[in-house]
Amino acid sequence: MTREELTGEQETDLALRISNLNVYYGESHILRNVDMSIPSGEMVCLIGRNGVGKTTLLKTIMGLLKSRTGNIFFADKPIAQLTPDRRAKLGIGYVPQGRDIIPRVSVEDNLLLGLEARPQGRKRNDKIPQEIFDLFPVLKTMLSRMGGDLSGGQQQQLAIARALMGKPRLLVLDEPTEGIQPSIILEIEAAVKRIIEATGISVLLVEQHLHFVRQADKYYAMQKGGIVASGSTEELSQEVIQKFLAV
Ligand SMILES: Nc1ncnc2c1ncn2[C@@H]1O[C@H](COP(=O)(O)OP(=O)(O)OP(=O)(O)O)[C@@H](O)[C@H]1O
Ligand SMILES: [Mg+2]
């Protein structure tokens, strides 16, 4: 018998499924009945104006905030009760808004810190895989520099590379192009697409830059902590763009 016949549950091919999530900061109700799903191997983009709750949703997915109600499934496994470290080790890589590069630590050591997210943790002889430098050649030339001495765009590339060091199955990116010059935005965009093609990884992207949003398969639009529109990015209308993106 298949699992489906045994349990009556349908096996899904979803990297992430969220249902009925409600999240509060103290008494303020931030996320309201959020449902979302990310098919395996796809890129899903979350859009919405400043302060609507996008980062709050990502932090809840990562376990940095607790939800009052709702469920989060990562590859069919319920994860809402797990610590952030467990979620990372299961295969969710996170690049927070503002990047969080450690400024007084070398680029190389910033990268090696990403190994902590591997299931077996960091081992003594672990090295930085060549694929990381193929994706972000600039990092190879800067390994001994301090993280804080890199430009904003370089730090963003470092932050994405650090998340990839953990070999995630789902990559969660919070506004990776915020405050970055246009030519570097295109480089980051291209790198994310190459990562998806090369590894089959799934991506949840929070983004304001329309060109990048359009690279996603599906979008969700958030307003006042609730999902108010969703669909294929091919069908992104001018109305949705004007309402939910700061363009
Ligand atoms: N630590 C906190 N304590 C209390 N309220 C918070 C905290 N962090 C965020 N908020 C509030 O929660 C709401 C959602 O914030 P959040 O950072 O999730 O928005 P966002 O959509 O990511 O915005 P932005 O586009 O500016 O990054 C905002 O009203 C914000 O003021
Ligand atoms: Mg945010």
Residue-by-residue DSSP string for 137-153: HHHHTTTTSBGGGS-HH
- For residue 141, give both structure tokens: 């030339």
Contact 61, 234 (CB under 8 A): no
Q: Which SS3 state, helix, strand or coil, does residue 131 take?
A: helix
Query: Worst-scoring range by mean pLDDT, 1-5, 10-14, 135-139, 182-186?
Result: 1-5
Residue 64 CA to residue 85 CA, distance in Å, equals: 10
Q: What is the pLDDT of residue 5?
A: 62
Q: pLDDT band for position 124 (50/70/90)? A: confident
Ligand 1 centre to CA of 41 (Å) is 29
Q: What is the pLDDT of residue 7?
A: 57
179 in contact with ligand 1, CB cutoff 6 A? no
**Half-sphere exposure (CA, 13 Å, Cβ side) for 22?**
8
pLDDT above 90 covers what percent of the chain? 86
55 in contact with ligand 1, CB cutoff 6 A? yes
CATH architecture of the domain with range 34-244: 3-Layer(aba) Sandwich (3.40)
Asked if the model's pLDDT at residue 3 lies above 90, the reply is no
Domain ranges of the chain: 34-244
Ligand 2 centre to CA of 177 (Å) is 12
50 in contact with ligand 1, CB cutoff 6 A? yes
Helix axes 152-164, 182-199, angle to 10 degrees: 10
- For residue 208, give both structure tokens: 């304001």
| Degrees to nearest 5, angle at CA 68 with 66 and 71 | 80
Express each pLDDT in 37-86 by its tens digit: 999 999 999 999 999 999 999 999 999 999 999 999 999 999 999 999 99
The residue whose CB lies within 8 Å of the most ligand 1 atoms, and thus the one to mutate among 21, 24, 27, 52, is: 52
Atom of ligand 1 lying closest to residue 25 CA: 4
Strands 218-223 and 226-232: antiparallel
Please give the model's pTM, rounded to 2 decimal places.
Answer: 0.94
97 in contact with ligand 1, CB cutoff 6 A? yes
- For residue 170, give both structure tokens: 């789902």
**Half-sphere exposure (CA, 13 Å, Cβ side) for 108?**
8
The residue whose CB lies within 8 Å of the most ligand 1 atoms, and thus the one to mutate among 23, 25, 61, is: 25
Residue nearest to atom 28 of ligand 1 (CA): 51
> CA torsion angle for 102, 147, 112, 127 (degrees, to 10)?
-170
